[in-house]
Amino acid sequence: MADLLDRAWGRLTSALGFGTITATKGTDGQGVRQAQVRFSAVEVRDGTPLICLYGVASRPLPGADAVLVFVEGNRSKGIIIATNDRRYQIDLAEGEVAIHSDEGDSVHLKRGRVVKITAGTKLEIDAPLVTLTGRMEAAGDVKAGTISLQNHVHGGVQRAAAQTDAPTP
């Protein structure tokens, strides 16, 4: 009986693991992403499935931490269920949520119902229509097509109540 309990305890304690991602493999939009995980100097596992929440995708960098579940306590049947990278963190207040990259780009849901989007180079919105329900403020110039809000000119300017011509790009 003690032998049976020892084996059950061994499987139970082997059911979870902590390792370091050493490489990842792309999926080309198909299947499950896989990673190579190092547990110690001598234990490395290739082709370990990396499971992400529906609608959320990530591909951790080498050096990221990984939490694994081992099916039936079998170390050859690991599944990565969570990843973290201590090198790339952003400060959050209690209750805040953020999606961020190692390059500093982020979507930060802040306290006070503020959403802060940080993009180091460019923010792209791919939609046939964008609507705003409040005011919009810009520190720099705004363009509609090729017409600058700050630097456009009007032709046909006359004194009195006449209308000007349309802006010239």
- What is the model's pTM? 0.76
Per-residue model confidence as pLDDT tens digits over 91-106: 999 999 999 999 999 9
In this structure, are residues 60 and 83 in contact, taking their beta carbons and an 8 Å threshold? yes
% of the chain with per-residue pLDDT over 70: 97
In this structure, are residues 19 and 62 in contact, taking their beta carbons and an 8 Å threshold? no
Answer whether residue 165 shows pLDDT above 80.
Answer: no
- For position 85, what pLDDT does the model report? 96
Q: What is the dihedral of CA 70, 75, 80, 81, to 10 degrees?
A: 20
- For position 27, what pLDDT does the model report? 84
Domain architecture of the chain: domains with CATH:
2-84 (2.40.50)
| Structure-token pair, residue 83 | 């990843």
Confidence of residue 59 (pLDDT cuts 50, 70, 90): very high
* Segment among 48-52, 63-67, 71-75, 143-147 with least mean pLDDT: 71-75
